[in-house]
Structure 1
């Protein structure tokens, strides 16, 4: 009795264990009748997760049958697979879809076998059904990807390939075959059996390709020149990677190939254009640094020197302005050819811009070696050049620096040559000037001035001096000219000719010019307070300030702020300002005149020879340059020029002022010639504020004398 009880308990435990195992299986364990509905007589708890139906709904087809939830499109195929397996006496395995309780379609895999009666007739099925939707989705994606890749491989306009590591083709698409000139991929694979020697122009290129892949696993934009079947060469860009086995061993390479021949040719043209001057065919400014850097590297290696010669054509601007840019361009083309003919094959010529050229002379042992080379340049340029109906006798100024004697970096070498050129021009042009210690000192002083100018306004180091302008008929002050000075904390009083050119180059001239105008306006108002009347003041306007700054807006703003009548301000502009941009010159003059200020042409007579422009511009005053007043006692020519200039001004109804009057003879001559206003040391030097106040107190006796001279 006890043994029977024990056996019953063990059987119960085994059943519970079996039920637990079945319930925890991923899927549904079943037994069904082998009938038309697959009538379920047992299903595990996994039924609900798989089908969405609780187990009791499927048992004995209480709510639905398994035949019903099998997808209609798959029922016949599923039954046929099971029937075939039973007929062969084998287990069945199949995949099909079911429709879950919520309507979702799910892929399942079924594995099982038939249950036979004593007569060997199949009466039931038993097995397990599992959800394989995830795997089916992956398979679908893989299939889609494979189809897509196959379509891309066959139809891509990019060449695609697979090659062995040793350099033979395993696979190629039609685009690659066409790219290399073959009728088909098969022909390419058959013929190209050594990529290194048959494909790449450079035999080492395949080695570079494989080295890059071994190092990084791939190559990107790997550009090479290759041979086509017909022997022509093209440029290609490859993107490829290594395909490895699970152990990391390379199986093959695969990637894409693009024909970039057109781009490479275009890049070559762009590079040539980027470094070549369009007009002369010489190297241009962009190529200068690279060319000089390569020559420096060679000079260091060979222990040589290099001469850098900065060449500027003398008086080129006058020709360009007179005859036009077309004639100027022809002249530059001629000069370029002469430079080429006067140089050695190893020399380099750069058109730096405008009429500036730079000669690079490598393999110089000492600085003196450059002298005969530069003499040939000077001689070549000095020969007459015919342009149309004109023949020009050109000259040039040259500044020279030597590497490494004067500097070792490119910017400083060029600065040294430029400084030497500046010195050559100041010395009268048509000269060669070698950079020297003296020039270095001048360069240092110039840099010091540039640095100091950046702080001069904030530190209130700038000041205005005033030089009286005298009415020659009445002897009284007609106006003052404001002249800027710089009280440097270390160098003392610096005259404008030393710092104004630097201010123009660096752009400080705009802030300085506005300060001068504002200070002059304040001086006019203070004179009203101190003396009871206001005296007009003339201020100088730089051509840079006149043509590139917002001069009209600046003048208008300052006049409004200081509340000074516009007619008390005269703006003096040099005659050559109009040739930088004549349209801008005209427009600015007209706008300034609408503000009510007066306009004077300074340094009149030494600029452009064609003075017909005077009748068209709103000019109030002509200031004759002091060059014609000096040596008036000894120079009859100067006297004749002065008379002509004064008469010209009078005929145009302009006020005429003569500058630089230093003697009584000059005063008398200009007075009797009809000059309106005189200015110079004969009347007064430029005066500080304090000196001007004293001058005004002491002026009466002096002016009484002038009136007697006038009578």
Structure 2
């Protein structure tokens, strides 16, 4: 029977009478199994589809029947609006010239997703040569488009790094000619531009190196070791001046193993080389700044104390630490960091009186000694001048920095009379200033001493807490938002201190991280959580996964992988029942170590969750490369959901991001019915917060689980979605 909307010619072509039923069935099967959508459509305004293969639904999200003859939607309507005119023009040009067409454009899937597709095909003409239909195949090329974009971004990033790096960067031929150089290298060698450097230096061996044999030694070292590191040489600048450089370089090979070129970085080390013999002689002088060094501190302070005792005066000891110096050092390199320290040292010198002394204690730490004070308050204008001077803009390698500093101050003889004790008091005050938000001056005081005493008490108590069985775990349920059952538990540590009562983790975990107690505590938490898995199975008859928080210190500096493996083996717990939660910012402390540890943990079989997700580093591209199972959205985006449209939009974006990456998504801090409903309808997998349950002691958890079982049984919903599964035998 002919379809009323299909011309007679096309009707005949759809059912070729020369094909047997088996041949027709084979043809249909082949078309349906192709990767993409095979189609035939009328050459009209809506691309009216008269035939579509089964690949339609995988490609567009619509069943084939929905697009046939525009029954529910036309192909024109699902073509991305901004691409419609271009697509139609491309096809029209091909049809006009009797050629096959090939094009790429975007379509809007049934769920609203926008994807890239590639279409190939040709026109069908009637006996008069008029185009009446199109036929071809349309395929999803979104992955290729993403790869192309990633490659383009990587190339742009590399070029930006090459051009803007403060280190000299180069590529040279085997014979000794420059292929490429950046502006930093041109500046280092005294050329106006990279092009000028490349044009002038056509024989590195004789024109650059002072020693004629140095280039040969460079190439031999690369041949023997694959690279050179800290390869130090004397070279000529463009004006003939001799400088010292340090090179790090390696060879780039082709597919056959032949060397294509050398590439690497160059750093000017002239100043260091020229001053090495002076440094050895000046044991009490800081080689970078010319200030007194740490070894000279005690002697200098002792002489000032003797003078103060005779004159019945006081001395202020100011411990200064530059805020955010490490970020500058890591970003622009140590050379820029050294230049910054030199300028800071010069500014401190400008702030001093003839009787004052400045000590570079190490790194970005300085100590100012202010003798001859009648009272402690006399130090205030001196320190205010230091803060003001350091805060003035500093220019380094075309970068301008606005530095701040934190200062801790102790007073002789008010706070102590011994050199080490005075420095310890100033150091403690500095610690307080930095914890208070930095860019502050903190004077040591009785209150500060009390706070430090409390911290020391916590530090001392932590050393005995495990042996005295003062630590305990509370458990907060993770609720399956769709079914309402308990999907997992998060183990949360508490400390029942004999004098201070129940101490929350935010008061003692930072101390544990600083002192190294975190490693023993972390192992105890993991071991206790594993035992809880077994006891829950014995009590309720099914397995419930448990997650534990892992400190970045454990993750990056401890033997976490070995610890997890040992505990799982000892407790005989399947690895998939344990989730390790690590904060998003942990990876930036040492990304290489972070990635290696993740991969090793995944090989053990444990699950990995990113905690406090969304409040860390803004670039989330790392998610696609890391073996992560769960994203835990930080409660900061949930707590104000009722009043904040922005929070709602961010939540939707984070949930969709997790879903697109096939990660489980958990929302933390749910406290209201509105928040629960919003997240449920947004597709969030798991919920956690006071709306469901606060963290529970072991006894309270048992009561909560029994109540949950009773509620689900009443609703005739067996918690099969929440239980992982029953083992053949108990643990």
- TM-score range normalised by the length of the shorter chain: 0.5 to 0.7
Superposed CA deviations along residues 257-288 of structure 1, whole A, max 9, x for unmatched, are: xxxxxxxxx99956655444444343333433
Q: Counterpart of 2:298 in 1: which secondary structure?
A: helix
Structure 2 Cα separation of the partners of residues 642 and 353 of structure 1? 45
| Structure 2 unmatched runs, 5+ | 1-274, 718-731
Distance 2:456 2:495 in 1: 16
Provide the aligned C-alpha RMSD in A. 2.8
Match of 1:560 among 543, 565, 569: 569
Kindly indicate whether residue 566 of structure 2 is the aligned counterpart of residue 583 of structure 1. Answer: no
Shift of 1:377: 1.4
Give the match for residue 366 of structure 1.
Answer: 375
Q: How does 1:251-650 map to 2 (within 5 A)?
A: 269=278, 274-650=283-659
Q: Secondary structure at the match of 2:289?
A: coil
Quickly say closer, same or farther: Cα 1:537–1:428, change in 2 above 3 A: same
Relative distance call for 1:534 and 1:444 in structure 2 (3 A) is same
453-462 or 382-391, which moves further after superposition?
382-391
Would you say the 8 A contact 1:474–1:707 is kept in 2?
Answer: no
- 8 Å Cα contact 1:467/1:482 also seen in 2: yes
Whole-Å separation in 1 of the counterparts to 2:414 and 2:698: 49
**Separation of aligned partners in 1, 2:519 and 2:447:** 31
Shift of 1:512: 1.0
Rate the CA distance shift 1:348–1:586 in 2: closer, same or farther, 3 A. farther
TM-score normalized by the length of structure 1: 0.58
Partner of 1:655: 664
Which structure 2 residues correspond to residues 139-150 of structure 1 after superposition, within 5 A?
Answer: none
Q: Which residue of 1 aligns with 2:699?
A: 690
SS at the partner of 1:662?
coil
Q: Could you tell me whether the CA contact under 8 Å between 1:628 and 1:641 is conserved in 2? A: yes
Offset of residue 319 of structure 1: 3.7
Are the aligned partners of 1:569 and 1:597 in contact in 2 as well (CA < 8 Å)? yes
Task: Tell me the CA shift for residue 526 of structure 1.
Answer: 0.9
Asked if the contact 2:279/2:287 (under 8 Å) is kept, the reply is no
Instruction: Write the distance in 1 (CA, Å) between the matches of 2:711 and 2:321.
Output: 50
Distance 1:386 1:638 in 2: 39
Q: Deviations over 1:48-98 (max 9, x none)?
A: xxxxxxxxxxxxxxxxxxxxxxxxxxxxxxxxxxxxxxxxxxxxxxxxxxx
Residues 466/584 of structure 1: CA separation in 2 closer, same or farther (3 Å cut):
same
**Residues 475 and 704, structure 1, Cα contact 8 Å, conserved in 2:** no
- The CA deviation string for residues 325-354 of structure 1, in whole angstroms up to 9 with x for no partner, is 444444333333322222323323333343
Q: Which residue in 2 is equivalent to 1:145?
A: none
| Distance change (3 Å), C-alpha of 1:700 and 1:328 | farther
**C-alpha distance in structure 2 between counterparts of 1:385 and 1:677, whole Å:** 49
Please identify the structure whose Cα radius of gyration is greater.
1
Change in 2 beyond 3 A, CA 1:366/1:546? same
Give the Cα separation in 1 of the matches to 2:529 and 2:282.
51
Deviations 1:223-264 (A, max 9, x none): xxxxxxxxxxxxxxxxxxxxxxxxxxxxxxxxxxxxxxxxxx
Partner of 2:104: none
Give 4+ residue runs of structure 1 displaced > 6 Å after superposition.
701-708
Within 1, Cα distance between the matches of 2:704 and 2:591? 40
Shift of 1:529: 0.8
For the residue of structure 2 that corresponds to 1:687, the secondary structure is coil
1:140-179 matches, cutoff 5 A: none
Q: Secondary structure at the match of 2:353?
A: coil
Asked if the contact 2:488–2:546 (Cα under 8 Å) also holds between the matched residues in 1, the reply is yes
2-structure distance, mates of 1:340, 1:705:
78
Structure-2 change in CA distance of 1:334 and 1:623 (3 Å): farther
C-alpha change, 1:683 and 1:385, in structure 2 (3 Å) is farther
Q: Do the aligned partners of 1:475 and 1:707 also contact (CA within 8 Å) in 2?
A: no
CA contact (8 A) 1:622 1:656 kept: yes
How far apart, CA to CA, are the structure 2 residues paired with 1:558 and 1:351? Answer: 46
Q: Tell me, in whole angstroms, the C-alpha distance in 2 between the residues paired with 1:706 and 1:544.
A: 45
> What's the CA shift string for 1:522-556, capped at 9, x where partnerless?
11111111111121111111122222211111111
Equivalent residue of 1:482, what SS?
Answer: strand
State the distance in 1 between where 2:475 and 2:553 align.
Answer: 23
Aligned length: 443
- Give the secondary structure class of the aligned counterpart of 1:283: coil
Q: Residues 473 and 707 of structure 1 are in contact (CA less than 8 Å); yes or no, is this contact kept in structure 2?
A: no
- Against the structure 1 CA distance between its residues 315 and 425, is the aligned structure 2 distance closer, same or farther, given a 3 Å change threshold? same
In 1, distance between residues paired with 2:290 and 2:447? 36
Report the counterpart of residue 174 of structure 1 in structure 2: none
- Contact 1:465–1:687, Cα closer than 8 Å, also in 2: yes
Distance 1:531 1:701, change over 3 A: closer
Q: Deviations over 1:495-545 (max 9, x none)?
A: 111111111121111111111111111111111111111211111111222
Structure 1: gaps of 5 or more residues: 1-265
What secondary structure sits across from 2:415 in the alignment? coil
TM-score (norm 2): 0.57
Task: Provide the C-alpha distance between the structure 2 equivalents of 1:668 and 1:612, rounded to a whole number of angstroms.
Answer: 29
